[in-house]
Structures are given as C-alpha cells and as structure tokens.
Amino acid sequence: MPGTVRFVLGDRVVEVSDPDPTTTVLQWLRAQGRTGTKEGCAEGDCGACTVVLGSVDDGRISYRAVNACILFLPMLDGRQLLTVEDLREPRGPLHPVQQALVDHHGSQCGFCTPGFVMSLFAEFHREEGLKDEEGIQDALAGNLCRCTGYRPILDAARRVGAASRADRFAVEEPRMLALLEGLRRDTGLALTGPDGRRWFAPRCLAELQALLDAHPDATLLAGATDVGLWVTKQHRRPDPVVWLGDVAELRRIAQEPDRIVLGAGVSYAAALPVLASRWPAFGALVRRLGSAQIRNSGTIGGNIANASPIGDGMPALIALGARLILNRAGLRRTIPIEDYFLGYRRTALLPGEFLEAVEVPSVPGGTFATYKVSKRRDQDISAVAAGFSVTLEEGVVTEARLAFGGMAEIPKRAAGAEAALVGRPWTLETVAAAMEALGTDFAPLNDMRASAAYRILVARNLLMRFHLESTGQAELLEAADA
C-alpha cells in the first residue's frame, strides 16, 4: 500500500501514513511518548538514541544497532524496530543486558544508558558478539558516557559476552519472521509528506533508473549518516528523496578471484568481514571508521559519493586501485576512484547518474597498508588518513600508489612522492626522498584537528612506518633510537 510506512514496533505492526519524509525515528518515537530513546547530539556521535533494527537475512532475523537521531522514519519500512522499552517483558525480569548494567553499576545519570542497552542487545544476538576485548570496544565505540568512566559498562559487556544468548526474542523469532514476511513489498514505496515533500524507495535498479530519469535532481540517500545531518543540523528540507536502501542490486557483494565488487548500498558493517579477510589492515581501519551504529547504516557508496576530503576509506580504496561503476539510465561507465573527486565536494557524477558499485582489484604480490590518525581513538574525524600500496620486482618499486585524506580538499594521491619511489630500490634512502617530496605534494590546512606542520610530519612518518613494517625493520629502528 503506497503512502504508508509499515514496520513492526516491538512486536506489533505499525502503519504511518504519509509522514514528513525526513522526520527522524527519534523524533517520531519521542512524540509517541516513547521517551526511553534519548537525543544527545542529533548527529550520530553520542549513541544515546541507539535503537535496534531487525531485518530478515537468510531466513533469520538479524539485529543491528543504529542511531535513531539520523534515521528517517520511512527507512523503517518492512523492518522491526526495537527500543529500550521493548526488552523487558511486561512485569517480567530485566533482559540479561539490562540486569548486567544494573549489577555492574553501568548507569549513573542514566541518559546514555538506553543507548548502551541497545548496543549490547544487538551484540547479544550476534553469536560472535562481545567475545573479546576488541569486540567489546568496537561494539560500544559509538556510545558516549560522561559519568561512569566506562569501566563498569565494559564489565557488564564482558558478563553479557560470557552468558548464554537465549532470550524471548530468540524464542519468538519464527513469529517475527512471519510478521515481517507480511510486510514485504514487491514494488517501491512512495510517500508525500504534509508539506508536499516526496520520498521514493525503489526496490530494484530498474525502478531506481526510472525515478532518476524523472527526478534527476533528487537527493540520493543511502545510510543517512551524512544526509541526516543536513536535516538535523542545517535544517535543510531535501525534496524529493530517493532512498537506495531497498534496491536489492546495490546491496550485493561479489567476491571474484581477481576483484571484489561491492554494491554502492553495501554498508561498512557488511563489507567489513570481506575487506578484513583480504586486507587485514583495511579491516582494522574500518573498525575505527565511525562506530558500530554508523557502520551499520553508512554505506561505502555514500562515503564515496559525498566526496568528503577525509572519508576514511578513500585513501585505502585509491591505494588498492579501486574503480567506480557509474550508471546513468542504464548506461554504465567505469572510472578510477581518484578521478571521481574533482574538487571540494565536487564529483564526476553527471545529473541523473548514480554510483552503482565499487570494484576493488586484489593485488597479488603488492604490499598494502592503511592508517588513520585522529585525536581520539574512536568516533573521530581523521587528522590524516593514508593508504599505501607498492609493487616490487626484485626489490625495485614498479608501482606506487600513495593516497592521503585530510591533506587536501579531496582524497588525493601524492604524485611527487610516488615518482620518487618508482624505479628505485625499496630502501630507506628512497623512502626518505619520497618523504621529502610529500612537502611539495601537499599544503594542508591548520585546523582544530591538527596543525599543517603536524599533518606533513605525520604523513611522512606514516610512509616511513609503512616501509619499516613492510620490510620487517621496525625492531631495528627502535633499537637504534633507544
């Protein structure tokens, strides 16, 4: 039934007819009197608004934690929404994650608590969730707490990680699967809000192409981790919005022998295991990209398309020689990713054209690393991000791809430094020359994330570190310096 968003709230189907398309789930919940979900920042930074979305994945319900403050209400269509109020059965005992937080004193003022509860709940339902310290830190990186000092919350997470994962949601899964099956739609959703602004959610590539043909200026929306802020922070009112989250083709991941093809709508969370298995360094970087909530919503395509100068994944993708498949009314073209970024927030995308997929070639024999340097360990925009790849033949560099974020108005390769490497032996002297060349490749900004001098120095140090790591000399240098 077009015009109506249908989803399961807790265990009941809810229908909302033609809502304001950019009302956030958080605002909607709180206006309903469901105030357990909190607003702390309205931009996906603090996690106080964390809710859990349940969706059908391979015949099972998979739960993921997301930020309700930058999730638009129509994005719930066909899904299950769980908030902190849903976990405890009426008059029943607390859910195990709730009880653990109480017992370990994981709540003080209580305002961040519902968000922690929901992040832990999503992990409770992942078999491998909360099993080790790294997993616990990653799961909770998107939840800020100003009172407890985190240790009591981490203690609670450890207990949850060690406990049995049985709860009533596991018991009720078959019923919920049936309920969600009943909400499935075969054709796209179209909404018109009270002020006439429109929302389209196509189901397939053909529908998407037709929509963009009709509305070439539409705002394309993927995970809303960026566009959400246009609404909550800049008070913009995009119209029409075409949401890509239900376009099946855009969510495909193809692992081929010589390349990985990621649909533009693949979330960072879905891409993480694939990237991590091919390039452990890329996996480590993605774990520090945003937070669990942001990675659950945010897509690789969105991260590329918005052309931020410091999108953390870009230097790695450039270094790996990724190519973008762009689609305009069914006509496809493929370009190297570095050619996509033309200037500050300016891209090679034509009107009516959209990013369909990213293909990342595997580089047999090449050495690759990627780094993120930020003031805060998690949940921080990089001061400098870097992705490096060198290919050697008999110790001589035959190809070098050195890419940086945070050093210019776009993610950019270091042409001078690359030239200083190619054709030369992969030695400390060669690297020293390339480090020197970085000074002419970039003229970074002074800003509150770091000074220009710092950025240049760290860019050089990262290259040095890459060399030392790739040649197993790190120990040597430390001994020499001590």
Partner 1 sequence: MIAKPAIPDVLREPGPGIGKPLSRVDGPLKVTGQARYAAEFNVPGLVHGYIVSSTITKGRITRIDTAAALRRPGVLHVFTHENRPHVAWFDRKWKDEDAPSGSPFRPLYDDRIVHAMQPVALVVAETFEAAREGARLVQVEYEAEPHETDLAARRHEAFTPGKEKGGFEPPPKPRGDPDRALAEAAVKVDVEYVQPTEHHNPMEMHGSTVVYNDDGTLTVHDKTQGAPNSHSWVCSVFGLSKSAVRVISPFVGGAFGSGLRPQHQLFMAVMAALQLKRSVRVELSRPQMFTFGHRPPTIQRVALGAAPDGTLQAMIHEAVQESSQFENYVEIVVNWSGQQYRCDNVRLDYKLARLDVFTPLDMRAPGAATGVPAIEMAMDELAHALRMDPVELRLRNYTDRDPNQDKPFSSKELRACFAQGAERFGWSRRNPQPRSMREGRQLIGWGVASGVWDAMQGQADARATLGIDGHLVVASATADIGTGTYTVMSQIAAGTLGLPIGNVTFKLGDSALPMAPIEGGSWTVSSVGSAVLAACERVRGRLYKLAAKMEGAPLGKAKPADMVLTDGHVALAADPARRVPIAEVMRSGGVLAIEEEARSVPYYVKRAQHTLATHSAVFAEVRVDEDLGTVQVSRIVSAVAAGRIINPKTAGSQVMGGVVMGIGMALEEETFMDHGLGRYMNHDLAEYHVPVNADIGSIDVIFVDEHDEVVNPLGAKGVGEIGIVGVPAAIANAVFHATGVRVRELPITLDKVLAGLSRRSAA
Among 145, 250, 269, 369, binds partner 1 (CB under 8 A): 145
Nearest CB to partner 1, comparing residues 117 and 274: 117
For residue 160, state whether it binds partner 1 (rule: CB under 8 A).
no
Burial class of residue 203 in the structure, from the number of CB atoms within 10 Å of its CB (0-12 exposed, 13-18 middle, 19+ buried): middle
For residue 262, state whether it binds partner 1 (rule: CB under 8 A).
no
Write out the binding residues for partner 1, residues 185-224 only, by CB under 8 A.
195
Which of 150-158, 162-170, 212-220, 249-257 is the region at the interface with partner 1 (rule: CB under 8 A)?
Answer: 150-158
- Report the C-alpha gap between 323 and 472 in whole angstroms: 31
Q: What is the DSSP pairing of strand 12-17 with strand 4-9?
A: antiparallel
Minimum separation from the CB atom of position 311 to partner 1 (A): 15
For residue 39, state whether it binds partner 1 (rule: CB under 8 A).
yes
For residue 114, state whether it binds partner 1 (rule: CB under 8 A).
yes
For residue 175, state whether it binds partner 1 (rule: CB under 8 A).
no
Nearest CB to partner 1, comparing residues 195 and 394: 195
For residue 152, state whether it binds partner 1 (rule: CB under 8 A).
yes
For residue 12, state whether it binds partner 1 (rule: CB under 8 A).
no
For residue 38, state whether it binds partner 1 (rule: CB under 8 A).
yes
Among 58, 59, 235, 429, binds partner 1 (CB under 8 A): 235
For residue 113, state whether it binds partner 1 (rule: CB under 8 A).
yes
For residue 83, state whether it binds partner 1 (rule: CB under 8 A).
yes
Nearest CB to partner 1, comparing residues 12 and 235: 235
Among 297, 379, 382, 389, binds partner 1 (CB under 8 A): 379
- Report the C-alpha gap between 50 and 67 in whole angstroms: 5
Number of residues that bind partner 1 (CB under 8 A): 83
Nearest CB to partner 1, comparing residues 121 and 354: 121
For residue 137, state whether it binds partner 1 (rule: CB under 8 A).
yes
Which of 96-104, 255-263, 266-274, 411-419 is the region at the interface with partner 1 (rule: CB under 8 A)?
Answer: 96-104
Among 53, 117, 244, 386, binds partner 1 (CB under 8 A): 117
- Report the C-alpha gap between 420 and 397 in whole angstroms: 10
- Report the C-alpha gap between 100 and 89 in whole angstroms: 16
Which of 71-79, 215-223, 397-405, 452-460 is the region at the interface with partner 1 (rule: CB under 8 A)?
Answer: 452-460
Which residues, at least 6 apart from 46, have a Cβ–Cβ distance to it below 8 Å?
Answer: 40, 112, 115, 143, 144
Write out the binding residues for partner 1, residues 336-375 only, by CB under 8 A.
373, 375
Nearest CB to partner 1, comparing residues 107 and 296: 107
Do you know the residue count of the chain?
482
Which of 28-36, 322-330, 343-351, 408-416 is the region at the interface with partner 1 (rule: CB under 8 A)?
Answer: 28-36
For residue 462, state whether it binds partner 1 (rule: CB under 8 A).
yes
For residue 143, state whether it binds partner 1 (rule: CB under 8 A).
yes
Nearest CB to partner 1, comparing residues 146 and 346: 146
For residue 98, state whether it binds partner 1 (rule: CB under 8 A).
yes
